[in-house]
Amino acid sequence: MLGAGAKEDKLWILNVDEWCAEFLRKLEDAFGGGLVFVGLQGSRGRGEASEESDVDLVVVLKELAPRELGLYAEAVASMPFAEKACGFICGEEELRAWSASELFLLYHDTAPLYGSLDFIVPLIGEDAAEKALKDGACAIYHGCCHNRLYEKSMDVLGALYKSAFFVMRVKRWHETGRFVKKLSELALETEGEDGEILSAFADFRAGRAQKEDFVKLSDALIKWSAGVIRRS
């Protein structure tokens, strides 16, 4: 059985390599030659997952129509830990017409399990990374201002800090030409304001962020994202 190593309360540990191998077999059975690409994103793709982490999949099919969505839903439902599955699915033609800035992120952040995304590389223009950087920072800035004034949610703020980690990877690529996937590796390369934002994100991940610091953490993220917007 997948994820051997049961706990006393009958929970099972998800072995992501075994899970993905079995799911890939199901996709090959369901779609055959219509399967173009399968990859893994998120903390499991980076090797930084916890037991609570989702299995964040990227699936590209030759064609995506209601029939294919139904087959995919059946494949997911047949898997153990089906509730962990999430991610991105699309048709090849749609992906070729996708926003270049999002293609940049998709290409660099996805660990391939089947096939290759190399076919999208010529579609990623020179300004794709810069657009991804500015769009991401603008979304954080707006979201953080809104949350500070209206929602006042630590959960929302934690999600915005997670977005800042993603944006910071693009920022680092823009500065050095290297795309650093892992939080642990990126933290070793950053200092100053960038380092403080990554440290705060690590606190949110570890459950150390405190409600009484909501305003201070919000203001720090607004200031950081504003600086990225002005400089990009």
Task: Specify the fold of 16-123.
Answer: Beta Polymerase; domain 2 (3.30.460)
Instruction: Check residue 12 and give its pLDDT.
Output: 55
Tell which residue, 86, 87, 222, has the closest CA to residue 164. Answer: 222
Mean pLDDT, rounded, for 131-158: 98
Q: Quick one: 95 exposed, middle or buried, by C-beta within 10 A (0-12, 13-18, 19+)?
A: buried
Instruction: Check residue 201 and give its pLDDT.
Output: 98
Which secondary-structure segment (H or E) carries 227? helix 214-231
Strand order across the beta sheet in which 111-114 lies: 85-91, 55-61, 35-41, 111-114
The answer to whether 46 and 20 are in contact (CB under 8 A) is: no
Q: What is the mean pLDDT of the chain?
A: 93
Residue type, 201: F
Mean pLDDT, rounded, for 123-145: 96
Burial 130-168 (b: 16+ CB within 10 A, else e): ebbbbbbbbebbebbeebbeeeeebebbbebbbbbbebb
Residue 22: DSSP 8-state: H
Share of the chain above pLDDT 70, in %: 95
Angle between helices 128-146 and 214-231 (to 10 degrees): 150
pLDDT, one tens digit per residue, over 169-196 is: 999 999 999 999 999 999 999 999 999 9
pLDDT, one tens digit per residue, over 7-53 is: 333 345 789 999 999 999 999 999 999 999 999 999 999 999 888 89
